[in-house]
């Protein structure tokens, strides 16, 4: 592996585009999805490390261009261009390597005077609930809405496939129609049990299968004009379908968008979100439009997202920081981390979570924006009941800032389940409520139900 230090001082705050011509001979299959031919720029900040890289493939192939882009954080300490092979065999050649600025730091819009949100999207004191599996039945919705008193679900339209593969476009509409019929059947039940619904397009057209096996909001969504046109048309169809639904609260345009590479002639996420919102507003002027920032919907992404030209928008982030804690053991065995405590050499406690979420507070206050935490979680087998303490601290922060929230996830996968205990090997629900379940139900008990 060849490593070339880059002038990080000149890159901070900029979006950088990295491209190279690559040729390969007999490159073996990747042990992990992130292994293989490397055109990568690891970036280190005082609190985290990022590994943005190009998708390159395996086997034998002739010269082809690969590229990716990403924003260099303002506090980046180092950035290194890495070229070579990782955990695979074979040969690889590189040529015409370029690292260039593709987007200068954004110029923030003027602050909006006042304190309360310009638009909240509902008249309730707070929306608190969970993400759910689209295969949920009436018994599950009854438990969540009636027994637990949740008043919000995030309904994911999620397509699955093999990690790393591109999704097929040919049957996208058929797949989506099948998923929307599940939602259609569930909406009367949501009304019955006092639950509002966020429609989450988890898998837009053009996305690639992620490490977790679902189609993400990336790849051709930002490199194919056809996919972008299709994306807007799909939201127009869904707005037409649900504009009169009593239970649907809002439209979450794309789950955790990732602009690895924006092709010339295509819109970046800021522009695509704006166009999509305008297309929806030509059909539905009432329901909330929910927008997550690029870079996986994380809090830092709000530093590079400007409020779009529509007053009826809710801004959403997902909170999985520190990722080494929340996802320990999800993608194979690794180190165990307790919370609060040292995680990858850095102490983590509630003040550190508040610091990680500070970009959200800043965005909220500057633009009088309403904030919705669409996802947050911690794996149930985190040691010493750590997941409970992490969730407690996070929810305290959410509530102190008047944010709506949905926990990830209810009756989807046992690893995130509130109803399962701390023993990873035990895949059956616990015989008595877990501390995590009691924590969330405590907060749900404060909910006011919508009147449909």
Q: Is 275 left (phi over 0), alpha (psi -120 to 50) or beta?
A: alpha
Domain ranges of the chain: 2-102, 128-444
Q: How many helices (H) and strands (E) does the chain have?
A: 9, 18
Residue 232: CB atoms within 10 A of its CB come to 18
The whole-angstrom separation of Cα 95 and Cα 26 is: 18
Distance CA 355, CA 352 (A): 5
User: Within 13 A of 146's CA, how many CA atoms are on the CB side?
Assistant: 11
Query: Looking at residue 17, what is its pLDDT?
Result: 87
Please report the DSSP string for 118-167 in residue order. S--SSSSS--EEEEE-TT--HHHHHIIIIIS---EEEEE---B--TTPBP
**Local structure of residue 372 (DSSP, 8 states):** E
Asked whether the beta carbons of 406 and 373 are under 8 A apart, the reply is yes
Phi-psi map region of 329: left, alpha, beta (phi>0 left; psi -120 to 50 alpha): left
Q: What is the pLDDT of residue 304?
A: 87
Tokens matching residue 239: 């707005």
CATH topology of domain 2-102: Jelly Rolls (2.60.120)
Q: DSSP code of 168?
A: P
- Residue 302 is classified by DSSP as G
Tell me what pLDDT residue 419 has: 98
Thinking of the domain 128-444, which architecture would CATH place it in?
Alpha-Beta Barrel (3.20)
Give 11's contacts (C-beta < 8 A, 6+ positions apart): 72, 76, 79, 101
- Can you tell me the distance from the alpha carbon of 188 to that of 282, in angstroms, rounded to the nearest whole number? 26
How far apart CA 199 and CA 219 sit, in angstroms, is 22
pLDDT of 373 reads 99
pLDDT per residue as tens, the chain (452 positions)? 999 999 999 999 888 889 999 999 999 999 988 899 999 999 999 877 889 999 899 999 999 999 888 889 888 999 999 999 999 999 999 999 999 887 777 777 888 888 889 999 999 999 999 999 999 999 999 999 999 999 999 999 999 876 656 666 778 999 999 999 999 999 999 999 999 999 999 999 988 777 777 777 888 899 899 999 999 999 999 999 999 999 999 999 999 998 878 888 899 999 999 999 999 999 999 999 999 999 899 999 998 899 999 989 999 999 999 999 999 999 877 799 999 999 999 999 999 999 999 999 999 999 999 999 999 999 999 999 999 999 999 999 999 999 999 999 999 999 999 999 999 999 999 999 999 999 999 999 999 999 98
| CA dist., res. 316 & res. 373, Å (int) | 5
């Amino acid at each position: 592996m060849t490593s070339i230090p880059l002038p990080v001082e000149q890159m901070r705050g900029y979006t950088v585009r990295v491209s190279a011509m690559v040729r390969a001979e007999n490159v073996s299959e990747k042990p992990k999805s992130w292994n293989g031919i490397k055109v990568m720029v690891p970036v280190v900040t005082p609190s985290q490390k990022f590994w943005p890289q190009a998708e390159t493939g395996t086997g034998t192939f002739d010269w082809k261009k690969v590229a990716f882009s990403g924003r260099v954080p303002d506090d980046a300490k180092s950035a290194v261009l890495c070229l070579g092979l990782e955990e695979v065999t074979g040969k690889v050649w590189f040529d015409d390597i370029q690292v260039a600025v593709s987007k200068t730091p954004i110029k923030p819009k003027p602050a909006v005077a006042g304190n309360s949100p310009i638009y909240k999207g509902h008249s309730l004191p707070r929306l608190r609930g969970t993400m759910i599996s689209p295969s949920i039945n009436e018994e599950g919705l009854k438990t969540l809405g009636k027994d637990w008193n949740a008043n919000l679900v995030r309904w994911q339209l999620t397509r699955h496939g093999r990690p790393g593969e591109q999704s097929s476009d040919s049957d996208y509409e058929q797949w989506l129609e099948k998923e929307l019929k599940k939602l259609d059947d569930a909406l009367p039940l949501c009304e019955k049990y006092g639950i509002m619904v966020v429609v989450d397009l988890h898998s837009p057209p053009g996305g690639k299968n992620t490490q977790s096996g679902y189609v993400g909001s990336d790849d051709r969504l930002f490199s194919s004009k056809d996919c972008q046109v299709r994306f807007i048309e799909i939201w127009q169809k869904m707005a037409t379908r649900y504009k009169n639904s009593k239970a649907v609260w809002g439209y979450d345009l794309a789950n955790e968008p990732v602009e690895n590479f924006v092709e010339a002639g295509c819109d970046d996420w800021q522009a695509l979100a704006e166009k999509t919102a305008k297309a929806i507003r030509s059909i539905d002027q009432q329901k909330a439009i929910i927008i997550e920032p690029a870079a996986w919907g994380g809090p830092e992404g709000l530093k590079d997202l400007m409020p779009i030209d529509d007053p009826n928008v809710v801004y959403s982030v997902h909170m999985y920081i520190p990722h080494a804690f929340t996802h320990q053991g999800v993608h194979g065995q690794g180190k165990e981390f307790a919370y609060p405590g040292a995680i990858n050499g850095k102490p983590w406690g509630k003040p550190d979570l508040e610091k990680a979420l500070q970009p959200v507070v800043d965005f909220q206050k500057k633009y009088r924006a309403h904030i919705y935490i669409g996802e947050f979680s911690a794996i149930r087998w985190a040691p010493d009941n750590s997941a409970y303490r992490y969730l407690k601290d996070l929810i305290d922060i959410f509530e102190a800032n008047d944010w709506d929230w949905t926990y990830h996830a209810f009756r989807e996968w046992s690893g995130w389940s509130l109803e399962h205990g701390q023993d990873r090997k035990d895949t059956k629900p616990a015989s008595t409520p877990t501390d995590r379940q009691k924590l969330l139900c405590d907060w749900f008990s404060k909910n006011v139900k919508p009147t449909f």
